[in-house]
């Protein structure tokens, strides 16, 4: 693996669906080679902290509990607030200055909890856009699925530019394919015909954008108007969690659309699992032999590398961070 990509990229990563964390709940997370804990305080706000307690190292995600808007360690009951500061120790007169957990920058939008990963701790230089329709009466909330995949994130990202895999892997004919990168976004626009597993054809058009290295949103019009989310988050150098979400626009009444969403999701999952089989078993070619009908793989690779470089560092230096 090239040394540059032997790190975790900078940017926003989904670490939970909002529905995974009710008020007063905690959730143990393992991402970027670290252990984290997410909790939702009584005020409804989600926080993400480093999991191992500054005191003697207990895992806050393993038996910690939410008290008010703080999380209490399961070992000696130190309490940390959302900024990571220790705000209460039941048996100490003075709270040590160093009693704090690293707090991760967190956003909750579009029914998702995201953290910003940056090896240098720098502020985000982009945000994930709000989906205006999400949560409205005309759209269903996400139907979700999570996969644990043994691959490097770049394989998933490369799919966006890989025009030539559609017919063979997804039984989809591509009529128009356009690709463009702009700063932290990479966008694919496709018009095509998908052959449905149950027979029939779906003439669709889609616009799919990566916002940063790991958050993909597709807006598709076809049999259904829908949003598809594909968000991946590295666990370590060899594994990642991939979250799939589908939100359908109501077609007819709500009940009818709800009945169809499962079928729709099953189709999507099947398509996804076809990609997954390839990713988990393939080799990464640094210099693939490409032909004229391939998509803009090289352009995408160049775009993706920006997330492995610290913002202050000159690109050529190739500083990757932790």
User: Given the rule CB under 6 A, which residues bind ligand FES?
Assistant: 53, 55-58, 73, 75-76, 78
Query: Binding to Fe ion by residue 106, rule CB under 5 A?
Result: no
Between 139 and 272, name the residue whose CB sits nearer to Fe ion: 272
Residue 110 burial (CB count, 10 A): 24
- Supply the minimum distance, in Å, between the C-beta of residue 86 and ligand FES: 9
d(CA 145, CA 19): 12
Between 151 and 159, name the residue whose CB sits nearer to Fe ion: 159
Token pair of 162 as six digits = 């890989």
Dihedral sign computed on CA atoms, order 306, 311, 317, 322: negative
Between 53 and 276, name the residue whose CB sits nearer to ligand FES: 53
- Supply the minimum distance, in Å, between the C-beta of residue 75 and ligand FES: 4
Strand order in the sheet with 65-67: 65-67, 70-72, 79-80, 86-88
Number of residues that bind Fe ion (CB under 5 A): 2
Q: From the list Fe ion, ligand FES, none, which binds 275 (C-beta under 5 to 8 Å, kind-based)?
A: Fe ion
- Supply the minimum distance, in Å, between the C-beta of residue 20 and Fe ion: 26
Q: From the list Fe ion, ligand FES, none, which binds 75 (C-beta under 5 to 8 Å, kind-based)?
A: ligand FES
- Supply the minimum distance, in Å, between the C-beta of residue 37 and ligand FES: 12
- Contact present, 113 and 17 (Cβ < 8 Å): yes
- Please choose, out of 64-72, 85-93, 94-102, 157-165, the segment that lies near Fe ion by the rule CB under 5 A: 157-165
For Fe ion, the binding residues in 263-282 under the rule CB under 5 A are 275
- Supply the minimum distance, in Å, between the C-beta of residue 201 and ligand FES: 59
Between 171 and 319, name the residue whose CB sits nearer to Fe ion: 171
Residue 311 to residues 1, 33, 106, 270, Cα–Cα distance (Å): 22, 21, 20, 38
Q: From the list Fe ion, ligand FES, none, which binds 159 (C-beta under 5 to 8 Å, kind-based)?
A: Fe ion
Q: From the list Fe ion, ligand FES, none, which binds 73 (C-beta under 5 to 8 Å, kind-based)?
A: ligand FES
DSSP code at position 288: -
CB-based burial, 51-87: b 16+ in 10 Å, e otherwise? bbbbbeebbbbeebbbeebbbbbbeeebbbbbebebe
Token pair of 136 as six digits = 């409205």
Question: What 3-state DSSP class applies to 146?
Answer: strand
Interface residues toward Fe ion, by CB under 5 A: 159, 275
């Amino acid at each position: 693996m090239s040394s540059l990509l032997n790190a975790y990229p900078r940017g926003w990563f989904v670490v939970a669906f909002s529905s995974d964390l009710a008020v007063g709940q905690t959730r143990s997370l393992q991402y970027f080679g670290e252990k984290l804990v997410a909790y939702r305080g009584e005020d409804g706000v989600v926080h993400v902290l480093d999991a191992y307690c500054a005191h003697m190292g207990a895992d806050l995600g393993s038996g910690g509990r939410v008290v008010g808007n703080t999380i209490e360690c399961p070992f000696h009951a130190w309490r940390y607030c959302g900024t990571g500061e220790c705000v209460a120790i039941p048996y100490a007169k003075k709270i040590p200055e160093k009693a704090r957990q690293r707090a991760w920058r967190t956003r909750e939008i579009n029914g998702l909890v995201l953290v910003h990963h940056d090896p240098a701790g720098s502020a985000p230089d982009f945000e994930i856009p709000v989906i205006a329709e999400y949560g409205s009466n005309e759209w269903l909330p996400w139907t979700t699925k999570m996969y644990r995949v043994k691959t490097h994130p770049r394989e998933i990202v490369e799919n966006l530019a890989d025009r030539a895999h559609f017919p063979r892997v997804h039984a989809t004919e591509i009529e128009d394919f356009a690709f463009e990168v702009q700063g932290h976004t990479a966008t694919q626009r496709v018009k095509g015909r998908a052959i449905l597993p149950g027979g029939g054809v779906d003439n669709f058009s889609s616009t799919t954008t990566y916002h940063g290295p790991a958050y993909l949103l597709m807006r598709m019009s076809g049999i259904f108007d829908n949003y598809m989310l594909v968000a991946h988050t590295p666990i370590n150098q060899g594994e990642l969690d991939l979250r799939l979400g589908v939100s359908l626009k109501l077609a007819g009444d709500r009940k009818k659309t709800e009945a169809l969403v499962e079928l729709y999701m099953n189709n999507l999952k099947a398509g996804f699992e076809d990609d997954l089989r390839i990713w988990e078993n393939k080799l990464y070619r640094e210099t693939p032999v490409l032909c004229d009908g391939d998509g803009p793989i090289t352009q995408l690779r160049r775009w993706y590398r920006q997330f492995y470089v610290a913002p202050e560092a000159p690109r050529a230096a190739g500083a990757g961070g932790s």
